[in-house]
Amino acid sequence: MKNNWYQISTRQFGYPQPEDDFGYLDRTYKPDTGCPTCGIGIVQVNPFRFKNDSDIRHNQFIGLNWIFDQIFVHESVKTEFEKNGITGVRFSQPVIHETDKPIESIYQIHVDTVLSKGLIGDNLTTENCDMPTDEKMLDFLKASGSKLVKGPFCGHLKYNFPHGQKLEFNSDVFSGQPDFVRTHEWFGSGWNTNRPIIISERVKKLIEKNEWIGAYLEVIG
């Protein structure tokens, strides 16, 4: 029997702190790593900072606006994952920005395993981290002061997420992999570039069994 794999995403609550001038970047990531224009290769070294925890108590899976490649879970999820031997994840706690205190019962999931190349992307559109060439878009970005025209540019290829289609991969890239993995390929546009998280059938069944709220799953083709 074939075991399916699923792309997982969450609903976003609030913004990483400090949000003014994207100050969270300096507080969360290692300085001078990765591309400052698209975000490829940045390295998290400090906990994410939440403004408060008032809106996240009723969801077992949580996300932050602007941060589409990180997932936060309630302690009940962490406990079940550990009890059932779910692999490919480790945990840390985000903090409240004003107090630096860890948020009680909330954990960030860290997924460090990256698949080998396996995306079947013939029908996907792509872009590179370069200066925009469309004149109208270029004028708009310059007028709005966007960093997307300031550079530097890494030139890295990025896939745009498909609309109304499933992501497709060669099935052999999943052989012997843990329950949580990331794609080798980068997806997104502008600064919002990330490696999506993919979970095993085993994790999907746990989510359904426990009726956890906040996790959105899309089967991989």
Walking along the chain (221 residues) 10 residues at a time, the average pLDDT comes out as 86 91 91 89 94 78 92 96 98 95 94 96 89 74 70 91 86 95 91 91 97 95 78
CA distances from 15 to 37, 66, 97, 208, 215 (A): 19, 7, 11, 28, 18
* Whole-number Å distance between alpha carbons of 54 and 25: 23
**What does pTM read for this prediction?**
0.90
* Whole-number Å distance between alpha carbons of 170 and 198: 14
pLDDT, residue 183, reads 97
CA distances from 187 to 91, 164, 183 (A): 24, 16, 9
Phi first, then psi: give them for residue 3, nearest 5 degrees: -100, 120
* Whole-number Å distance between alpha carbons of 196 and 184: 9
* Whole-number Å distance between alpha carbons of 150 and 132: 11
